[in-house]
Amino acid sequence: MAEFKPLVINSTKPNIPATDSNGWKVFTKELHSHAKNIATSSTQAADLGAIVSGIPTVFARANLFKLALETRTTGGEQSGSLNDYYARLLSEWKGLIACIALQYQSLRVERVYLRYSQGVDLDERPEAIYEPKGAFGTMLFDDRAKWCEVNTDEPFIDIIKFGTGADQMIVGATSPESLRLSRVLATPRSKAASSTRCRPT
């Protein structure tokens, strides 16, 4: 039977095995190692967007924050020029933690449950597969329990918002792997927001 190569970004140490055409196969256990060894020769903005989009999960950014904390704090050099990117992610992570500590009065948290509507699974209502929140919860695979409260099976993510009214914007979210993660290209939209110096990037 012919083997098929998974559609993932190139890695210096590829470890995601080939599969066949008979169905989906879960590669959750291999994703962290694969992302750690992504092949890249530059850390320009366009390349970094390709890095994130090349990891086959909607939780790619959350995974990269985890890798940044692991790699930079242990002095690892497995990812070549990705270390520069990890350093930038750590800077964002520290900035968001500082923002929470110093500007907590301006922060709001909104919990989003990653479940299908009506509390049913795909076996009961297959058409629900197109609902984004439920689909994101399904894509957690083996990591699902990490994103749930104790003794529950309902994954969630807390969205962190800064400001009020029309000036309110999303600056980050929670993650069980890194505590917090900042959003992509978050910048203040008003003078009031700028004066707080709460800038994740």
Predicted structure pTM score: 0.65
Give every strand in the sheet of 179-182, ordered side by side.
107-113, 156-162, 169-175, 179-182
Dig out the tokens for 47 from the structure.
């390349």
Domain that holds residue 174: 28-194
Domain count across the chain: 1
**Please, is 18 exposed, middle or buried when counting C-beta atoms within 10 Å of its C-beta (0-12, 13-18, 19+)?**
exposed
Domain assignment of residue 20, yes or no: no
Domain assignment of residue 22, yes or no: no
Q: For each of the chain's 201 residues, which pLDDT tens digit applies?
A: 456 666 666 666 666 666 666 666 666 666 666 666 666 655 454 455 555 555 667 888 888 888 888 876 555 454 455 677 788 888 889 999 999 999 999 999 999 999 888 777 777 777 777 888 888 988 888 889 999 998 898 999 999 999 988 888 999 999 998 888 887 754 444 444 444 444 444
| Main-chain phi, psi angles of 108, to 5 degrees | -130, 145
